[in-house]
Amino acid sequence: MKKLAVYSLFVAALALAATIVRDAPAADLVVPHDPSALDTPMLVSNACSKCHGATGLSVSPIFPNLAGQQASYIDGALKLFRQRGRGDPHARAFMWGIARGLSDDQIAALAQYFASQTPMRGAASGNPGLAEKGKSIYENGVPDHGVIACMVCHGPNAEGQADNAFPRLAGQHRDYLALQLHYFHDLLRENEVMQGVAASVTDDEVAAVAEYLSSK
């Protein structure tokens, strides 16, 4: 319980820090207004790698790993950032400015680049009991709360679904996953299905699912 409490406080601190920038204007462009002169490697080096790493393995647990992510999900997310259709604190602070100068072709190329990279392999959980609880929630949902199984959308191995642009969750940072679920719960990130799911889960269940997925 003590470890879970410390973890919950850490996630809450991350959420609070991100919320500070929620109402800030979009970040300045990292790429030029006419980025057509920049090819994919240059875009990755000049913009993406600062947070997500050169091969999509991020530099901080509050930034998602992109290596092996579904290309359709990355493509859709970048277009949402470009049109300011996703308004959670991290989107506003980091991605609005970066994405707004990108063309459709550049977005498609970046999506394919990161999707082709070797995904992160999760490390063994330091809390096997919590991870096992998360596995049960992922595979079976929480019937008492009316929460559907995560695997229905994200796949049996949390690999995501390309056809429906559902993201890969396996090997993702535990703290990033928990933070996004808090965003959905607080209606800071738009997605009707995920807002409905997150509205019903407890902090302990969020921690469990994040622990399990980060270990895959």
For 128-214, CATH number out of 1.10.760.10, 3.40.50.720, 3.40.50.300, 3.40.50.620 equals: 1.10.760.10
Question: According to the model, what pLDDT value does residue 22 have?
Answer: 40
Write the pLDDT tens digit of every residue in 35-85.
Answer: 555 799 999 999 999 999 999 999 999 999 999 999 999 999 999 999 999
The answer to whether the beta carbons of residues 189 and 19 sit under 8 Å apart is no
Q: Which two tokens stand for residue 126?
A: 């330091």
Q: Determine the CATH number of domain 22-115.
A: 1.10.760.10
Question: Tell me, what DSSP letter sits at residue 34?
Answer: S
Q: How far, in Å, CA of 117 to CA of 60, rounded?
A: 18
Cβ neighbour number for residue 27 with a 10 Å cutoff: 17
> Could you give the residue range(s) of every CATH 1.10.760.10 domain in the chain?
22-115, 128-214
Which residues of the chain register pLDDT less than 70? 1-37
Quote the pLDDT of residue 24: 41
pLDDT value of residue 32: 53
What pLDDT, on a 0 to 100 scale, did the predictor assign at position 4? 42
Q: Which residues of 40-63 are buried (b: 16+ CB within 10 A; e: fewer)?
A: beebbeebbbebbbebbbbeebbb
Q: What is the CA radius of gyration of the chain?
A: 17
Question: Do residues 179 and 89 lie in contact, with contact meaning Cβ atoms separated by under 8 Å?
Answer: no
